[in-house]
Structures are given as C-alpha cells and as structure tokens.
Structure 1
Amino acid sequence: MLTSGLQHVAAMYAGVVAVPLVIGAAAGLDTGDTTLLMAASLFTAGIATLLQTLGVWKIGARLPFVNGVSFCGVAAMTAIIAAEGGAAGLPVIFGAVIVAGLLGFLISPFFCRLVRFFPPVVTGSVIALIGLSLLPVALGWVTDDGAEGEGASGKGVALAAITLAVTIGLNRFGRGFVKSVSILLGLVVGTLVAIPMGMTEFTGLGDADLIGFPTPFHFGAPQFSLPAIVSMCIVMLVIMTESTADVIALGRIVGRPADEKTIAAGLRADTLGSAIAPFFNGFAASAFAQNIGLVAMTKVRSRFVVAVAGAFMVVLGLCPLAAALISAVPLPVLGGVGIVLFSTIAVSGVQTLAQADLGKTSNSLIAAVTLGVGLVPEMSHGFYSQFPDELTIILDSGISTGCVLAVLLNLLFHHVGRRTPQEEEAPEPAVTH
C-alpha cells in the first residue's frame, strides 16, 4: 500500500508543482516564496485527495482519485497578476478562488444531474480526448532538458526510452508486487541512470528545511475583485466539467459506474478543496487524469492506496526537504512513464467507445467531431489567441471544449426531435474486389 501510494505521488508530482512554478514566475516571486507555493500546493492537494477518497458526509466520490492543482486556471490567474501588478495579484486570486469554490460546492447537486447526458459515445470520446490531450504534456517533459525551441536532446530521449523500456519490461516479465509498482520502479531506475548522465539536480536539498508549515495567507488577506471572481467562476465550471468526465472514466475502469450521487460527492470534494486551498496559499483543485491511467495500468483499484498518496502529499507539503528530494526526478524520466499513463487513458476511451453503436451515423459523428475539435488547442497552439480572454479560458482547454461539444451533439442527435431508423444507419462502406 505504501509503495503503490508513493507511485501515485510520483506520477502526479510534476503536474502539481507546475502551476505554482508558472504563477510564481508570473508574479516575480523569489525562490523562497515560489517554494512556499509549491509546498502549499502539495499540502492542499493531499487534503483534497483525502476528502475525495475517504469521504466525509456527502463529500468525496470514495473512488481512487488523486486531486491536484488544476491547469485550467493558469491563463486566468496570470491575467489577474498582470492586471494587479506582480505579487499584489495573489490575494486577489485567492479571494476569487474561495468564492468560486464555494459557488461550485453549492451547485454540485444540480451539476451532477448531467450524468444522463453522458452515454458511452460521449464518455468514450471524452476519455480518449483526455488521454490524447495529455500526451503533449509527456512529450514536453521529455524535451525539458533541451534549450527552448530546439526540441528534444539525445540524452532526454534516451532517458525517457530507458524509463519506458524498464516500465514495459517489468509489466511483461514481473509478477505480483513488482508488476504492480512498475511505474515507481521505472522512475527509480530512470533517475539512477540520469545521475552519471548529469541530468539530476540535488543542490536544492541543502537549502530545504526539514519541517515547514504553510503560513496561512502568507501573501496577505484575500481580496475580492468582481472581474477576478467572474473569471475564476468560469474556470470552476470548466473544472467541474472535466471532473465529471474523470469520475465517469474512473468509475468504468474500477467497475463501479458513477451515478449522480457519486458525481455530486466527487464535485463537492473538488470544490470544497478549492475553497480551502487559498487559506494555505493554494489554488483550485481538480482530479488528475494521469492517475486514472495509473489505476487502469496497475489494476490496483483500492481507494485506500490513493488515500495513502494523499497522506504522502500532506507530509511533503509539511517537509520541504522531502519535496525537494522527489523533485530531483528528471522531467524526461517522468515523460517516459507519462507516455504509458496517458496513452492508457486514450485506450480506455476506445474501449468505452466500443460499447457505443458506432454503426449509427450520429454516434460516429459525435465521436469524430469531439476528437477533432477537442484536439485543436494541442494541434495548433495559439489557435484561439485572437479570441477574448473569457472565451480563451474555456477554448484553450480542449478537454472541456470537447466535453461540452460531445454533450451538445448528443442532445442534438438523441434528445431533440425524433430520428428514423433509416437516418440512423451508417452508409455501407465501398468494397473493391
């Protein structure tokens, strides 16, 4: 249980610390304050994960869900920082996140009723889109060691390939416990190989404290600005849309299809975790899709394993030295296992799509358009750059755009008006003899 929980932490660590790194740089924070944001993000992610897995009252889906800092709010938060002028924007962000989290908590019972609009053709398309949209993240980790704009270096690709090969080899030839922690062992082997290659950085260990509790409102009391609140409320709706798709995806993977009650409980954990996070200098929380891939790959479906991961994150948030040790894992190593994890999510989506009748023109069109439009931000960066910021927040998240589009198309084809059997039949494929 301990090693499987640590494996979940290793899989999501880079994603959790990425947002505070970006926000810290945008706000012009020094190394100490940026490290504080990272520790706070780990601490609050651990609390949200414990809420999600163990549950309190009607809060928490009680599924093996890892919660972390959502990428959805990065564009909105950097815009707030730019408008307020550096670190002065952080209290404004925290105030807006608190309001958005509380609003999301209140509307969760109503938002969850959308589950009947998520048949296999919708969920399968969205799950596949989640996996495909995350693949560029893994590739970005592989290229991180090279100069910006120069692509991946030979060492980065080699390190990712070695990590990937070890992970696959342990899955093919390993048994029992070894096979179940293949991702963790792949990360360990990849990091050890990176040491003689000069691709690890341990200098931060000497400056890290052993114990450090996140100081509440370290950057000042929260401020409540209406434009910032509106912006973060839009982000919260996007997060809830993605989390709904994630709950449905994980429910299918673990053999416990998510109903409205489960989705509502999961959304409450997300939104309450988001509302609590700013008190400890954290940001909005959401379910981490990469850990869904880890559950699918390892077949370890116990929510208590993920609860252990949540406890690990709380400890990491309280122990900067331990956080610095895990951060020494090179990004190309994370990229190697990320390729496996994210691709596994995409395959799970294909398996779900197989349950839908793709022989019907409507279903095949829903899947095709969802994937095509949802992948636009990944295939063409800056495609929506000329759009207003309020729209860019949503459109630049291909997962959210695809999810909303899939639901609308399903409504159009299957709930609005009536279709005849002839209209539903797919055309016969041409056969060449």
Structure 2
Amino acid sequence: MAAGGLQHVAAMYAGVVAPPLIVGAAVGLSAADLTFLTGACLFTAGLATFLQTLGIWKIGARLPFVNGVTFAGVAPMTAVVAATKDRSDALPVVFGAVIVAGLLGFLAAPFFGRAVRFFPPVVTGTVITLIGISLLPVAFGWAQGPDPAAPSYGSLTNLGLAAGTLVIVLLLRRFATGFVKQIAVLLGLVVGTLVSIPFGATDFGPVADAAVVGFPTPFHFGAPQFHLAAIVSLCVVMVVSMTESTADMLALGEIVERPADERTIAAGLRADTLGTALSPFFNGFMCSAFAQNIGLVAMTRVRSRYVVATGGGFLVLMGLCPMAASLIAVVPRPVLGGAGVVLFGSVAASGIQTLVRAGLEKDNNILIVAVALAAGVVPITAPDFYHAFPDTVRIVLDSGISTGCVAAVVLNLVFNHLGTSRAGADEVTAPMEPGEEMTQARTAPAR
C-alpha cells in the first residue's frame, strides 16, 4: 500500500510544486520562502486528498483521487500579483480570493452534481480522451528537460533517459507479475533516476539544502485580503476547476467500474472546494482532482482509495519534512516524462474504450465527438488561437478539457434532445441515454 501511495505522489509531484514555484517567483520570494510555499502546497494537497478519498459526512467522492494545486489558477494568480502595487500584499490578496472562491464553490457543488445526467458515454468518452490528450504535452515537455532555455533541453541524452524509463515501465508491465507489476511506474522512476546519475541529470542539491522539519505556519505571508477583482478572477477559475473535476470523477468512475452518480460528484466537488477554502490558512492555493493519477489507476488497476489516501499521508509528511519532499525532486524531469507517456496515454485509451459503447454508428454521435475533440485540442495545437479574447474568457477557452466538455454537452443536447420526441430520442440515443449508466451503476463503495 505504501509503494502504491508513493507511486501516486511521484506521478503528481511536479504538478503540485510547479504552481507555487511560478507564483512565488512572480512575487519575488526568497529561496527560503519559496521552499516554505512549496511545502505548504504539498501539505494542503495531502489534507485535500484525505477529504476526497476518506470523506466525512457528505464531503468526498470516496474514489481513489489525489488532490493538489490546480494549474488553472496559475495565470490569474500571477495576474493578481502583477496588479498588486505592494508585492508584500500579493499573496494575501490571492489567498483571500481563493477562500471566497472555495466557499462559493462549496455552496454550488450540489448543482454541479445534478449535471451528471448531461454526461452520457458519448460525452464522458470524449472528455476522458481529451484529458489524456491534454496531459500528453506535459509529459513531452518533461521528457525534454526542466529548463527550455538550457542548452540540454531536448537533447539526445534527455530524450534517451525518457525513452529508457518508458521501456523499463513497459518491460515490467509485460514480464513482471504481482506486486512488482503493480508498482512498475515507481520502479521505472527509481531505475531511471539511478541511470541518469552518470549523465549528470540528477541533482541532489535540494536534499542537502532542505530542512528536516518544517510546519506551514498559518498565514505565514500575512492575513488574507479581499479584493473584488481578484475574487471574480479566481471564481471563474473555480468554475473551470469544478468542470474539470466533474469530468475527472466521471473518468475515474468508469475506470474503477463505479460510475459517478449525482451524489458522488456533489460530494467530490465539496471536497475540492472545501480543500480550496481551507488551503490558504496553511499558505496553499486552489485544490482540484489530479487527472495525472487517473492514468496510474487505469494502468495498474489498483482501485483502492486507501492506497491513494496513503499517498495523501506522504504528501502531508513531505509538507512537514522539507527534506523528504526534496527526495521526489531528485527524480529528473526526463525520467518523469517517460513515465508520463504511459500514465497520460492510458487516460486517453480509457476514453476511447468508453466511446466504443457510445453508439458511434449514429451520425449524430460521430459529429458530437468530432467537433468536441476539435474544440478541445485547439489550446494544444494552437496555443495563441484565443489571444484576442479577454483574459477572463481565456481562462476557460485555454483549457481544452473544459472547452471540449462544454462543446460535447451542448452538442449532445442539440442533436439528441432538443426538438426530439421522447420516443424518438429513446430510439435514436438508447446507447447513451443521460443518466442511464448512473442508475445502473454498482452501489458498492470503493475499497
């Protein structure tokens, strides 16, 4: 269980530490404060993961979900920092906006839960596929190296380390059995890191410089401040985050064979938003479910939420022990990239598997998938496509998952519901009737 939890941490670590590093650099934090902010985000990610996996009352999807800092908030947070005259007030303004966005999101969670009926297989399959496709460029970026400005970025050495890690994971998945097969990604990361040492790609400096014990003191950077413009900006991000989390829960529900119903989605969104509202108290940012770990569940078939909760425990410990946190940072980015290809590709494959059951022999459904996928890949294939739009609108449009999800839902309503008689709709769209799979879902709790 510990190894499985560590695998989940390894898969999402880079995604958790990137936002605080970017925002902290924009604020101009010292190295010590930057380390503190990163540790705080790891700590709050662990708390949010506990909420999501173990749950309390009506909070938590109780699915094998890892929660962490959402990257969707990076651009608006850095914009808030840039707009704040006194940089010492920047983080308090951000934290105040995150708290309000989290509380409002918590109140709105039940309404998002009811939207599950608008996610039949033709929609969920499209969105799951987009999640995998949207994450693959992250893996390709990791494979090239940590710094795009470095001469070694995209070098044969970096790409070779990524390819070698990928091969190791594939070989372990093909020839290993039992527990070794289940932790193939973790072993691939370990072996890839060891292999990278002679090539000078492994930096042990973070371990040497890190403190053994550290606690994220509440409001370390000052009491939260509440500015309307910052609150509106982060509320928009909250909507985007909740949309992506809904899609992620639907994806994971399919993978673990426990389709997410309205109650599950509402409970999961409550965990996301409550974790978000509490995070700034410990100097963390907006929390959301991590799509990266869906690929790990899909590949290993380890569906226990307690394994992921163990990963949440590791996150809390790393937040309390900066030296432990730095051990994961030792893994070279190209090694992470090689493993990421398997993880994120598995998500896309799961989406295709769902689409097989979506009635694609119907012309309407083919059009829904075609246009929604096209809308979703725009930010990937043409990152500046929406450059003329206002920044607030771009927060939504630049998220391929959100854009594709909205397109799939709207097109499904237009082609399969609006203006169609009940009898006709049943005849035409029987394979993907909204909510049909949810009502037939197994009600047994996840392990």
Gaps of 5+ in 1: 426-433
1:424 Cα deviation from its structure 2 partner? 6.6
* Partner residue in 2 for 1:331: 333
SS at match of 2:386: coil
AA at the equivalent of 2:187: L
Per-residue deviation, residues 384-410 of structure 1 (Å, max 9, x unmatched): 122101101111111111111111111
Q: Of residues 169, 172, 193 in structure 2, which corresponds to 1:170?
A: 172
Q: Within 2, Cα distance between the matches of 1:402 and 1:78?
A: 25
Partner of 1:180: 182
The corresponding residue for 2:433 is none
CA offset at residue 25 of structure 1? 1.3
| Segments ≥4 residues shifted beyond 6 Å | none
Deviations 1:305-358 (A, max 9, x none): 000000010000000000111111100000000000000000000000000111
Moved more, 137-146 or 285-294: 137-146
Q: Distance in 2 between matches of 1:87 and 1:158?
A: 43
Q: 2:238 pairs with 236, 239, 252, which one? A: 236
Q: Shift in Å at residue 288 of structure 1?
A: 0.6
Match of 1:207 in 2: 209
Which runs of structure 2 are paired with 1:10-409 in the superposition (5 Å)?
10-85=10-85, 86-145=87-146, 147-148=148-149, 152-409=154-411
Q: What SS does the aligned partner of 2:385 have?
A: coil
In structure 1, distance between residues paired with 2:288 and 2:373: 22
* TM-score of the superposed pair, with normalisation by structure 1: 0.96
Q: How far did 1:14 drift?
A: 0.5
**CA contact 1:370–1:406 (8 Å) conserved in 2:** yes
Residue 146 (structure 1) shift:
5.9
Distance of 1:94 and 1:163 partners within structure 2: 38
Does the CA-based 8 Å contact 2:62-2:305 persist in structure 1?
A: yes
| Match in the other structure for 2:445 | none
* Cα offsets for 1:115-138 (capped at 9, x unmatched): 000000000000000000000000
Letter in 2 for 1:322: A
Structure 1 distance, partners of 2:170, 2:288, is: 29
For 2:278 and 2:122, how far apart are their aligned partners in 1?
Answer: 35
Q: CA deviation at 1:149?
A: 8.4
Distance (whole Å) between structure 1 residues aligned to residue 252 and residue 385 of structure 2: 31
In the alignment, is the contact (CA less than 8 A) between 2:206 and 2:329 conserved in 1? no
Alignment gaps of 5+ in structure 2: 430-447
| Matching residue of 1:8 | 8
* Aligned partner letter, 2:197: I
Give the CA deviation at 1:111. Answer: 1.4
**Matched residues in 2 for 1:193 and 1:10: separation?**
17
Per the alignment, in what secondary structure is the counterpart of residue 196 of structure 1?
Answer: helix
How far apart in 1 are the matches of 2:251 and 2:290?
A: 12
Structure 1 residue aligned with 2:435: none
How many angstroms apart in 2 are the aligned matches of 1:205 and 1:251?
38
Distance 1:190 1:114 in 2: 43
**1:63-121 deviation per Cα after TM superposition (whole angstroms, max 9, x unaligned):** 00000100111111011001004342111110000000000001111111000000000
Tell me, yes or no, if the aligned pair for 1:29 and 1:87 is still in contact at 8 Å: no
Give distance in 2, aligned partners of 1:105 and 1:147. Answer: 38
Offset at residue 415 of structure 1 (A):
2.0
- How much is the aligned-residue C-alpha RMSD, in angstroms? 1.5
After TM superposition, the structure 1 stretch with the greater mean CA deviation from structure 2, 117-126 or 200-209, is 200-209
Structure 1 position 145, deviation (Å): 4.6
Alpha-carbon separation, structure 1, partners of 2:144 and 2:333: 8
In structure 1, the residue matched to 2:436 is none
Question: Which amino acid in the other structure matches residue 128 of structure 1?
Answer: T
* Structure 2 Cα separation of the partners of residues 175 and 206 of structure 1: 36
Aligned residue identity for 1:321: M
Q: Distance in 1 between matches of 2:356 and 2:253?
A: 17
Contact 1:81 1:90 in 2 (8 A): yes
SS of 1:375's equivalent? helix
Supply the distance in 1 between the matched residues of 2:326 and 2:106 (Cα, whole angstroms): 33
Does structure 2 conserve the Cα–Cα contact (< 8 Å) formed by 1:45 and 1:69?
yes
Partner Cα separation in structure 1 for residue 225 and residue 298 of structure 2: 42
Task: Provide TM-score, normalisation by structure 2.
Answer: 0.93
* AA of the residue aligned to 1:131: G
1:429 corresponds in structure 2 to: none
Q: 1:96 to 1:145 in 2, by over 3 A?
A: closer
Equivalent residue letter for 1:277: S
- Match runs of 1:417-432 below 5 Å: 417-418=419-420
Tell me the distance in 2 between the aligned counterparts of 1:149 and 1:418: 57
Alpha-carbon distance between aligned partners in 1 of 2:97 and 2:322, rounded to the nearest angstrom: 27
SS in 1 for 2:145: helix
Distance 2:320 2:150 in 1: 36
Identity of aligned residues (%): 65
> Does the 8 Å contact 1:146/1:153 carry over to 2?
no
